[in-house]
Structure 1
Amino acid sequence: MDLSRPQCRHWRELVLLASLLACGIRQATSQISIDPESLIGIKGFRSVLVLQNVTQDAQEYSWHRGANDTVENMIVSYKAPSNTWQSGPMHSDRENVTKTGDLTIRRTELSDAGNYTVRVDFSNRTERATGYLYVQELEKKPDIWANTSTVIEYMDSVAIICYTNATIVKWYVNYEQVSSNDQMTISPDFKTLIIHKVGRYDRTLQCETESIPEFPRRSEPLSLTVYYGPDKVQLSTSHIIRNGVLSARIGSQVRMQCIAISKPSPKYHWIHNGSRLSFSEAEIILPSLAWEQMGRYRCIVENPTTQLAMYREFQIRVHTAGESSSLSLGLTPHNSFTISGAKVVWLIVITVLGGVYICGILIYALISHFSTRRHRGA
């Protein structure tokens, strides 16, 4: 990471005051200066001491360790006309000076803190500036702890603590920053997060600190195991189910499968006409449908951990020749009409009685007609 110009403005006045105190030898007539914002280094990162107010007639830049520019404490220099660099006694192979006069320090160490003096030789004068480099060490990544690692969705809560001395703490759930709301609460010191009812997507938790502005440190992810379900239970079959009825021919193969979302994987139970079957898998297959296998089936999906269960049920009925051929083709029929055997008997009886009633009316009308004609003829 390049820390050539860290934006730590609230340090500016402190750094500037320290630079002025350390720079007792700075000449009152000097125009060049070291940017106070660049006098804050971070251990392990690159620091750049930025030179300001340098005119174009500069011929040589010479950086020194300490509050003076003696030959013994020179770090490195650069001569503009000849485009050459020269290392001094205080050079550690990590320092260099740019063509614009800035001093760079690679992999800044805590021991690099202290006064730095730059001398700039112009065509007709020499100017100096001194500044104090502060080197800070980033706080280690904060540790994170939770009172439990396994929870049941929407039933259990979890409390997470961020161990840090920092005053600025942020919380992240599934890598998104969160704040106090109806589902979770952050303590007043920001170091504790409580999720009241954990959801299945609240699995990854992190806290972030910022002891040095603009240099956040985020904890390692803490993963929760969230048990949930079953939900979204669906039924898949080898035949079409319409209005809860599966129509199949005797001797045909029937496949039935339950599909559900659950963690851990659920258990399956199958009920046929009120009796529990020996099948305990999500799918059962009837290789050759028999008459005794007709009736109502129920698939029960159970999660022993969450103690929740759901079911789907349907009825297997014999496919008759009068039914729409689209069923045998695996297509969903647009319209269907069925009538039970008892209703057929009643329909026949009503039809017969209606016919007898109509015949009686016709016979009565004929007798009345002939009787009227006979009386007239007499």
Structure 2
Amino acid sequence: MAPSGYSWLLLSATFLNVGAEISITLEPAQPTEGDNVTLLVHGLSGELLAYNWYAGPTLSVSYLLASYIVSTGDETPGPVYTGREAVRPDGSLDIQGILPGHSGTYILQTFNRQFQTEVGYGHVQVYEILAQPTVLANSTALVERRDTLRLTCSSPSPTAEVRWFFNGGALPVALRLGLSPDGRTISRHGIRREEAGAYQCEVWNPVSVSRSKPVNLTVYFGPERVAILQDSTTRTGCTIKVDFNTSLTLWCVSRSCPEPEYVWAFNGQALRNGQDHLNISSMTAAQEGTYTCIVKNTKTLLSGSASVVVKLSAAAVAMMIVPVPTKPMEGQDVTLTVQGYPKDLLVYAWYRGPASEPNRLLSQLPSGTWIAGPAHTGREVGFPNCSLLVQKLNLTDTGRYTLKTVTLQGKTETLDVELQVTREYAGRGKACPLLDGGGGSKRSLCFLHQARGHRPKMDMPPPSD
């Protein structure tokens, strides 16, 4: 306990400071929460009577930590004593298991036997072991140029320094400009797509550092630059030439996040296709026209489109005859389909063999109706597109067919095709091609693959008389 009259001594002695220099150093110099710390006193002189330690900015009784009598070793706690402090005989102050709350200014006041005082100042900064911070976002999915990003670094340590990371590196300039004065909040108006990515904050002090888990930001944009690709070549707003009966795949591409929805249209009519590509398996005149891809972003609510015109190539436009089916059998119907027929057609005629009147099967008049010719069997039908249907084929229908067309300008064009009718063999259900046997006779050749490896047999018609 302090001797009688000691309180008066403290009050009166405070006015007798001679200003001698006392230095105080900290051991360790950068204490961490939980360390045992000593405020070492240097430069004491003369025979001292007592020490007062204050934990505060002034020599106020309200900041008094402890008083120590040198002669007896008695220590008296003050108002701010926490139970962790102890004064040494040499005036140094020990603090056991120091806490962040011990940070601040410390003042040592000494008294000599002449009631003169000396004062020394020290400062303690306790650095805590920092807990992992958390990044709080107002949203992790924003629309470009429309929404505002707000990120906050949440940490239980108010004194820790804060720094931010974007995809593991430094923040973009625009985001650095949006930092709050304390560095704990980022605000970005009209977010951009290049600012999408992983954000982290890090808290640190001289003895500890801790980084948050990443928060991944998605920025929705588009669709932009909608285009239709064909054979890896961008074609938009132009014409694609395609050979007859070849396949074509159109790809719809755009810059969009997320992936947009797709709608295809052909000559203004929607197609049942929700994919990013459209397949045309066999190009004919019926597939000629304008193909449009419409894309819509369900997040930005924006849309875009691109169109191409698909046409048969010049080689394909030249008139040609294609049997459908290509290998008709006896009893079937066959259509001699005409591709690239003249658009300014006036009349046409079909012939069984060379284009002569006795061989004429039928003709189409300018009125659009057709009339039978001398060679018509009742099984042939003509169509406005010049195609010829031959029904219920028989073996005698094998041979050459000739088409003759006349345009409004008087241009005449003749084209022929060889039709091969095959016989279906009753025993095996296989087609048997007709062979020219000479003298106008025809024979069918069928190969019978028997179980025991017999030689192929030739099916021959009975000889004519």
Q: TM-score range by the shorter chain?
A: 0.3 to 0.5
Structure whose residues are more often strand by fraction = 2
The higher-RCO structure (CA 8 Å, 6+ apart) is 1
Please say which structure displays the higher CA radius of gyration: 2
